A and B are shown apart, each in its own frame.
Chain A
Amino acid sequence: MKKITLASGALAATAALALAGCAGGTPSEPVDRGDITLTITDTLSETSAPVYQEVYDACAAEIGIAGVEATHVAGSGHIAKLLQQIASRDLPDVVMIDNPDVQQIASSGALSPLTEYGIDTADFPEGVIAAGSYDGELYGVAPMVNSLGLIYNVELLEAAGVEVPTTWDELREAAQALTQGSTYGIAFSAANSFEGTWQFLPWMWSNGGNEDDLTSPEVVGALEFVTSLVQDGSASASVVGWSQNDVTDQFIAGNAAMMINGPWNLPRLTSAEGLEFEITTIPVPNAGDDVVAPLGGETFTVPVNEDSAVQEAAGAFVACLAQDEHQITMAAGRGGVPSSPSAGAAAIEANPYIAAFVDTVATARARTGLLGEAWPDAATKIYTAVQIALTGQQSPEAALEQVAG
């Protein structure tokens, strides 16, 4: 054991020295990168990968490297693989990391701060910066982000004579009115995973609750509201087992008149035949409140590299990816929102459906913004409490007290 610690300590020291060497010498003119091929690992699906490949190639040409080698892995096993690669010092040159995981990986020391690569994040929303930062330094930048909104079936609302809800009371009434036959008024995900937590956050945060104090009246109030939707019968009891994909399935099949979901579903929704839908921001507790939804989206990070030239090229590459024009390409192709507000207007023109999400992202909050590395623990508590309350095992207040410990 001691021998291993000594050896890896020496390795870490060498890496730190190399990094210091990198930071010390800022090249005044572009270094010849003609023979560098960057390895990228991302978590893109088969449909999204070609969209990003376009951007990768464009940026590769722009910064003058030979090319990029992109590997796509499934999101679920990504972190485990990353940890393996960290241990064996075998990380790719650029890694895509989902924003709530950035702090965990950054805390290991394997990532390099992005400040030295000249990435302009001055007008990025605060949530986007907070998501990719650890200990005051920016480690990951997300060119494309997403959040949650209320997506509703226009025909069903018209048929029931229901207006689009903007407050919690209106939402509860609308959901009840829309529950007819085999159709539920609303559908959302309350699964036993971080997806369930993600879907509960808009209610919790918009009501003024925080993840560091789960027994506060604001959090209890939010949980009571969500529980009431299931108790009224407006939402199926199966929400405790649905992922967001399942929720989309239910909405497209007409089993739910409204759903809480994100813009990544747009490709599916627009290609569903006969489905007329619209998107609005998630209803707030009282009229005039601000909706505070969680910020989603993957960041690009630059691991510490033994070869400083490659690391510098990787940094320039990520800086290129974060430019407005590329943000718009990614957002349009994948159904997302560009991080930079200046690109937002152009994106809405290209795809009017994301207008509500552009508004939401401006005030969206990073999941790791408050608790940093301690977020996974709080996230587990949140989805457990939601499940306990929704299945009627305990009252929302008792459920939150039980998980808070």
Chain B
Amino acid sequence: MSAVAEARTGTVRASRPRGGGRVRESVARWLFLAPAVAYILIFFGYPVVQNVVMSFQDYTTRTFFTGEAPWVGFANYAEVIGSYVFGTALSNTALFTLGSIVGQFVIGLLFALFFHRRFPLSNVLRSLLLLPWLIPIIAGTSVWKWILDQDGGVANQLLGAFGIPAVPWLSSPDVALIAVIIVNIWIGIPFNTTLLYSGLQGIPEELYEAAALDGATGWKAFWHITWPSLRPVVTVVLVLGVIYTLKVLEVILGLTGGGPANATATLATESYFRSFREFQFGEGAAVSNILILFSLVFAVIYLRANRKQVDE
């Protein structure tokens, strides 16, 4: 039967496939897609939709037992945006993300370029560089909290050896955000280094040799060969980094708990506190939806940039 069908569609392929063949093709296509679509709908779609709905409801501990969550419209959003913490949380989130990404990316790129030249023990060092990424974040933040302690911490003792007065890393609202950014950069360097390093490996050596013949070495070689060739990898690293950093919670909770005096409060910590400290799940959902909106913007930028790459 199938052979006959094949023969039939084969003869009319010059114009277009017959109705029966086209339907079967698209049915087959959908059947292949079905498991993936179902998975995404259940494990990504449902929580996101539930979260959006929850942000319009008065969802409290009582709801867990009775299942009732009265509809309150935009009241949660009004309460969240009108609270005195929101402006601070918004600017902190922006500063934290910007500072972390710039720091992680620049240092990661420098490390990748450094390891690009082979030298003895470079493989060992590169593996060791992965450690900050591998350590459980709570363990890492506990150690950093001890290092950055104002009175007895190693950081201030080191600065003291150079005659610099002790810096109140985690206890001053002016410095706390910088301290948290530094720790987040430390955690994010391995990710950037690894991806950029593999991107560098993909650039053919011949390009460098050809450029050297024309007298382009060092900085010129980087600007004209390395950087353009790395563009796809850079896009991935930056956009993934931004989307991930927007959500960072454990680093901040472990180091300062959002303080002192909301100096390190971000949208992520606000969402967590509203839901699990004050048991106002509707408000927490509202904050997290605002965060998702920002992430979506960057995701769209990523998709756009990617499409451009393919077209180029």
Q: Which residues of A pack against B, CB within 8 Å?
A: 1, 4-5, 7-9, 12, 79-80, 83-84, 86-87, 104-105, 107-110, 182, 191-194, 236-241, 255, 376-377, 380, 384, 387-388, 390-391, 393, 402-403, 405
Question: Does B127 touch A at the CB level, under 8 Å?
Answer: no
Nearest Cβ on chain A to B299's Cβ, whole angstroms:
28
Q: A110: which B residues are within 8 A, CB to CB?
A: 64-65
Q: A191: which B residues are within 8 A, CB to CB?
A: 257, 259
A391 lies within 8 A of B261 (CB): yes
- 18 cross-chain CB contacts under 8 A: A1-B53, A79-B279, A83-B64, A87-B64, A87-B65, A104-B279, A107-B61, A109-B66, A192-B260, A238-B168, A240-B260, A241-B171, A241-B256, A376-B279, A387-B261, A388-B261, A391-B261, A405-B84
Question: Does B209 touch A at the CB level, under 8 Å?
Answer: no
A241 lies within 8 A of B259 (CB): yes
Chain B interface SS verdict (over half)? loop
A7-B67, A104-B61, A241-B170 given. 18 additional CB < 8 A pairs?
A83-B61, A84-B64, A86-B61, A108-B66, A109-B65, A109-B66, A191-B257, A192-B258, A192-B259, A192-B260, A236-B150, A238-B150, A238-B151, A240-B260, A387-B260, A391-B172, A391-B263, A405-B84
Point out the residue from B66, B84, B151, B278 that lies within 8 Å of A236, measured CB to CB.
B151
Q: A108: which B residues are within 8 A, CB to CB?
A: 61-66
Q: 1/0 per residue B40-72: CB within 8 Å of A?
A: 000000000000010000000111111110000
* A192-B260, A237-B168, A393-B173 known; A107+B62 contact, CB < 8 A: yes
Taking CB as reference atom, which chain B residue is nearest A240?
B260
Nearest Cβ on chain B to A212's Cβ, whole angstroms:
16
CA of A241 to CA of B277 in the docked complex: distance in angstroms?
18
Q: B62: which A residues are within 8 A, CB to CB?
A: 107-109
Question: Does B152 touch A at the CB level, under 8 Å?
Answer: yes
Q: B65: which A residues are within 8 A, CB to CB?
A: 12, 86-87, 108-110
CA of A238 to CA of B255 in the docked complex: distance in angstroms?
12
Taking CB as reference atom, which chain B residue is nearest A405?
B84
A402 lies within 8 A of B84 (CB): yes
Complex interface residues of chain B between 18 and 59 (CB less than 8 A to chain A): 53
Interface centre among A4, A110, A255, A391 (most CB of B within 10 A): A391
Taking CB as reference atom, which chain A residue is nearest B150?
A238
Question: Does B208 touch A at the CB level, under 8 Å?
Answer: no
Point out the residue from B145, B149, B152, B261 that lies within 8 Å of A384, measured CB to CB.
B261
* A83-B61, A241-B145 known; A9+B261 contact, CB < 8 A: no
Number of B residues near A (Cβ < 8 Å) is 33
Nearest Cβ on chain A to B38's Cβ, whole angstroms:
21
B260 lies within 8 A of A380 (CB): no
Taking CB as reference atom, which chain B residue is nearest A83?
B64
A380 lies within 8 A of B278 (CB): yes
Nearest Cβ on chain A to B58's Cβ, whole angstroms:
13
CA of A340 to CA of B258 in the docked complex: distance in angstroms?
39
A240 lies within 8 A of B150 (CB): no
- The 5 A-B pairs of least Cβ separation, nearest first, read A192-B259, A8-B67, A192-B257, A240-B260, A387-B261
CA of A34 to CA of B263 in the docked complex: distance in angstroms?
57
Point out the residue from B66, B173, B278 that lies within 8 Å of A376, measured CB to CB.
B278
B172 lies within 8 A of A387 (CB): no
Q: A192: which B residues are within 8 A, CB to CB?
A: 256-262
Q: B278: which A residues are within 8 A, CB to CB?
A: 376-377, 380
Question: Does B302 touch A at the CB level, under 8 Å?
Answer: no
Q: B150: which A residues are within 8 A, CB to CB?
A: 236-238
Q: B219: which A residues are within 8 A, CB to CB?
A: none
CA of A50 to CA of B203 in the docked complex: distance in angstroms?
62
Q: A239: which B residues are within 8 A, CB to CB?
A: 171
Q: B173: which A residues are within 8 A, CB to CB?
A: 391, 393
CA of A9 to CA of B63 in the docked complex: distance in angstroms?
11
Interface centre among B63, B64, B66 (most CB of A within 10 A): B64
Q: 1/0 per residue B162-205: CB within 8 Å of A?
A: 00000010111100000000000000000000000000000000
CA of A236 to CA of B152 in the docked complex: distance in angstroms?
11
B276 lies within 8 A of A240 (CB): no
Q: 1/0 per residue B142-159: CB within 8 Å of A?
A: 000100011110000000
A12 lies within 8 A of B66 (CB): yes
* A104-B61, A192-B259, A238-B171 known; A8+B66 contact, CB < 8 A: yes
